[in-house]
Amino acid sequence: MPDQPPQIEPFTPSTAPGALQDLRTRLRATRWPDAPEDAGWSLGADPTYLRELVAYWADGYDWPAQEAALARLPHFRVTLGGHGIHFVHVRAAAPTGPVLPLVLGHGWPDSFWRYTKVIPLLTDPGAHGADPADAFDVVVPDMPGYGYSDRPTGPPPDSIAVAALWAELMGVLGYARFGAAGGDIGSHVSRYLALDHPDRVVAVHRTDAGVPVFTGDPADLAPEERTWLEDAAAWGGSEGAYAAMHRTKPQTAAVGLTDSPAGLAAWIVEKLRAWSDCDGDIERAFTKDEILTNVTLYWLTGTIGSSMRMYRANASIPPAQHARRVEVPSGFSLFAGDIVRPPRAWLERTANVVRVTEPARGGHFAPFEQPELYAQELRAFFRPYRSAAAG
């Protein structure tokens, strides 16, 4: 009997009332650490801001309303490679030309949440003051161990394996050729989609080049590349402790972060502030409701441990994989407030670069921070490749 194709099923996010009561009880019972006077954010999450956020989470934040808003997107589930995968799939509204299918890759610490603001701008540009001919079919999957996708029971897949899952997903959805875009881990996944499926990926757009991996002779690098490697190493020394924990002992941190919602908020919120274009004021980039929707997704799905374990998987990717050059047409939007921004010389070394822009606003979470700018970047970059996907 031939293998049955994967079955796609509609999915509706829902939360048992008992889970919310448990969350509020834990929040109200938080045992707070001491902190030096006026430490602010200098040692990590600011205790004063975190107390304010946790108080609102316990007694002001309306998760059912936020969940209902998320549920207005069309959600689905499918089993691929033994993993239960959740994804959002929105088809183009009233297109006036070839529709380009686009798979969007999120990173850590987020999920499909990263793209919730930008989806309508991409699928229905005409309703938002843009050209209807730039409409996309948008697919936003949660990686295994993130969001509403299942937590892997064994070793988590690395970015290469996730790229293979997304290629399969796009095939199941009927898309022979498509574009790929992403940031953070989603940038890595998009890169491997282009590397391993160049016959299907018409073009790839990224908001970063990842943390640089270079095993050759530094003398072969341009001066600005060497400076970037030094800057990235310095950033890792001052800001990369979280990643070292994720790579080496994720289960140790997972115990506390899975048990304490205040601890989970501290772990995530500090990164939202540090990596966004907010000039030190996190609420210039995200409202409290937006922050807590991201954090609550992690809490209710119990995915902080499984999301961190992916760092361990990615740390085992062989150096030879990092050295591969992407030949699929590649574009980069390097947002002004992002971290570890690469020089053009490095991009040219690692990819077939056809477009590089430097938007003046937005940071690591650009699709959420600046959805209009991000949508403009994707429309402009992918415009020449629409007919290739349709052909």
Do residues 337 and 277 touch, judged by C-beta distance below 8 A?
A: yes
* Active-site position among 137, 184, 208, 338: 184
Give catalytic status of residue 311 as yes or no: yes
Do residues 104 and 181 touch, judged by C-beta distance below 8 A?
A: yes
Q: Distance from first CA to last CA of the chain, Å, rounded?
A: 33
List, in sequence order, every residue forming a beta bridge with 101; answer none if it has no partner.
137
- Per-position b or e across 99-117, b if 16+ CB within 10 A of its CB: bbbbbbbbbbbbbbbbbbb
Look at strands 136-141 and 83-90 and give their pairing. antiparallel
22, two tokens: 């448990």
Give catalytic status of residue 124 as yes or no: no
- Cα–Cα nearest to 89, from 15, 140, 22: 140
**For residue 351, what are the contacts with CB-CB under 8 A and spacing of at least 6?**
191, 325, 326, 330, 332
Give SS3 for 76.
strand
* Active-site position among 49, 61, 175, 311: 311
Residue 309 class from Cβ within 10 Å (0-12 exposed, 13-18 middle, 19+ buried)? Answer: buried
The residue type at 200: R
- Cα–Cα nearest to 124, from 300, 379, 369: 379
- CA 113, CA 313: separation in Å to the nearest integer? 23
The residue type at 32: W
Give catalytic status of residue 49 as yes or no: no
Catalytic sites, residue numbers:
184, 311, 364
